Amino acid sequence: MGTLEATKTDEKTTSATGTRDALTVTDHRTGKTYELPIKNGTIRAMDLRQMKTGPDDFGLMSYDPAFLNTASCTSRITYIDGDKGILRYRGYPIDVLAENCTYLEVAYLLLHGELPNKQEFEQFTREITYHTMIHESLKKVMDAFNYDAHPMGMLISTVAAMSTFYPEAHNVHDAKVRQKQIHRLIAKMPTISAFAYRHSVGMPYMYPNNALTYSENFLTMLFRTPAEKYVPNPTLVRALDVLFILHADHEQNCGTHAMRGIGSAHTDPYSAVAGAASALYGPLHGGANEEVLKMLQEIGSISNVPAFIKEVKEGRGEKRLMGFGHRVYKNFDPRAKIIKRMAEEVFEVTGRNPLLDIALELERIALQDEYFVKRKLYPNVDFYSGLIYEALGIPTKAFTVLFAIPRTSGWLAQWQEMLEDPEQKIARPRQVYLGQGERAFVPMERR
Ligand code: CMC
């Protein structure tokens, strides 16, 4: 062992039991030994930089494609233990919130850190309902889309366009201004989403009704025709509200990472939410719920399930069992458990979706098949949610929009936390350059 080069030990690195919370590393290129503090189960990547082979060396970096083992922030919003299948918002288990709360209560919790009392909740609900209408010119933006435009494409573009309607939103350091945009976004997402659907089926837009709850209003904007009375079924309203709760936040996933990354440049929240929603749109992320339905329809009947599973296994990652697997959950996804239970309640009202039997058979086979067991692949939130959306009468193309509506509160809570975190700066990862060194330019005629 060489000399101890950079001792960073202080009282904070000594634990109550007298052991030091520190990591000793020897750089065998130089023989030097370093002691790196460990805090909250992490070492600082910047502490590696002091390890150099000479004065011209940039210093050691960590290499972590796709952030498999890198924390990019501290957070107090959502806790996940993937091995135990635990998900909590602000300390409350997800099943307890799903059982006892409305989506707007949970949105308040995510944003403010505490569940609202009656007065706080009424005030918050008032703020949200006050902002449910969208600017008539924004409606014209939506009119410009082709009749078969994907609702996610419409949602993303319309949310981005909102930044031009509320230029004050650029003032991201003003907490009051931020609050207003947060209310606007949570309020207008269902309206834009419903309008996107109505546009795709050629039906007139149905304006929001502020006498209704968040989920009642959304279903009404989706399905009411001007000619008829429409009262959404309370079981279906509650099911939608619970789905919104389950989708509200999920710590540092791809979309939230995009939200924080874009927001770190002090971009306005509309543009940042449009970016986060773009990430969510991908089939490996929130777009999976649409893919699950397409997959179940493609399989067509229970008798085709074994052949499909075989194809997935032989595809070795090329063809995936959509709605299965998760970067963090390696036991079960607690959201999927709640959704599966809720599907039964919904089907009692709507009639049983025949695709459910295919889904159950896929799950049954996959959970005992060595390929899936070895890789710890379990049904995720998207596996059963699409079946409920379909039972609610929502077209497959609009499924991811139903994920984006509630995730907006999570994105905004994370965005706000990032802006208030003195340790955060503009997100700017490093790279390991493996390309050509400097070389001589060759004119075109000699190439
Ligand atoms: N079907 C078949 N094989 C799979 C699947 C799947 N759904 N998911 C992962 N694998 C295999 C993968 O091929 C790899 O095998 P091998 O070790 O032989 O190369 C192994 O399992 C590990 O997979 P990975 O791609 O390294 O895992 P990841 O953590 O990077 O990916 C995931 C996580 C969710 C992207 C992936 O499981 C997946 O593509 N699932 C299907 C899409 C899906 O349902 N997405 C929704 C996720 S939950 C909601 C959300 O995040 O929005």
Angle at 183 between CA 181 and CA 185, to 5 degrees: 65
Residues annotated as part of the active site: 285, 326, 382
Pair (53, 142) in one structural domain: no
Pocket test for ligand 1, best of 80, 377, 378 (most atoms within 8 A of CB): 377
Instruction: Report which protein residue has its CA nearest ligand 1's atom 45.
Output: 284
Pair (169, 31) in one structural domain: no
Pair (138, 262) in one structural domain: yes
C-alpha to C-alpha distance for 47 and 51, rounded to whole angstroms: 8
Range of the domain at 22: 1-63
Dihedral sign from CA coordinates of 375, 378, 380, 383 = positive
Number of domains in the chain: 2
Pair (51, 164) in one structural domain: no
Contact 243, 394 (CB under 8 A): no
Residue at a domain's end among 10, 44, 63: 63
C-alpha to C-alpha distance for 97 and 100, rounded to whole angstroms: 5
Residue at a domain's end among 63, 96, 116: 63
Ligand 1 atom at minimum distance from 375 CA: 21
Name the band, by pLDDT with cuts 50, 70 and 90, for residue 7.
very low
Pair (19, 113) in one structural domain: no
Instruction: Report which protein residue has its CA nearest ligand 1's atom 9.
Output: 325
433 belongs to a structural domain: no
Q: Report how far ligand 1's centroid is from the alpha carbon of 283 (Å).
A: 11
pLDDT at 8: 44
426 belongs to a structural domain: no
Name the band, by pLDDT with cuts 50, 70 and 90, for residue 11.
very low
435 belongs to a structural domain: no
442 belongs to a structural domain: no
The answer, yes or no, to whether residue 304 has pLDDT greater than 50, is yes
Pair (45, 182) in one structural domain: no
- Percentage of residues in the chain having pLDDT higher than 70: 96
Pair (49, 130) in one structural domain: no
252 belongs to a structural domain: yes
Contact 81, 89 (CB under 8 A): no
197 belongs to a structural domain: yes
Pair (267, 333) in one structural domain: yes
Residue at a domain's end among 63, 84, 99: 63
185 belongs to a structural domain: yes
Pair (190, 127) in one structural domain: yes
Q: Report how far ligand 1's centroid is from the alpha carbon of 326 (Å).
A: 6
Strand-pair category, 4-7 with 32-37: parallel
pLDDT at 319: 87
Pair (106, 38) in one structural domain: no
For the entire predicted model, the pTM comes to 0.92
Pair (95, 118) in one structural domain: yes
Ligand 1 atom at minimum distance from 383 CA: 44
CATH of residue 245's domain is 1.10.580.10
249-267 residue pLDDT tens: 999 999 999 999 999 999 9
DSSP letter string, 165-205: H-GGGG-TT-HHHHHHHHHHHHHHHHHHHHHHHHHHTT---
The answer, yes or no, to whether residue 55 has pLDDT greater than 50, is yes
Worst-scoring range by mean pLDDT, 108-117, 151-160, 270-279, 360-369? 360-369
Mean pLDDT of the region 335-352: 91
Pair (88, 52) in one structural domain: no
Ligand 1 atom at minimum distance from 380 CA: 48
267-299 residue pLDDT tens: 999 999 999 999 999 999 998 998 999 999 999
Residue ranges around ligand 1 (CB below 6 Å): 253, 284-286, 288, 312, 316-317, 320-327, 375, 377, 380-382
Q: Report how far ligand 1's centroid is from the alpha carbon of 367 (Å).
A: 15
C-alpha to C-alpha distance for 363 and 75, rounded to whole angstroms: 34
397 belongs to a structural domain: yes
Q: Report how far ligand 1's centroid is from the alpha carbon of 394 (Å).
A: 26
C-alpha to C-alpha distance for 228 and 238, rounded to whole angstroms: 23
Q: What is the mean pLDDT of the chain?
A: 93
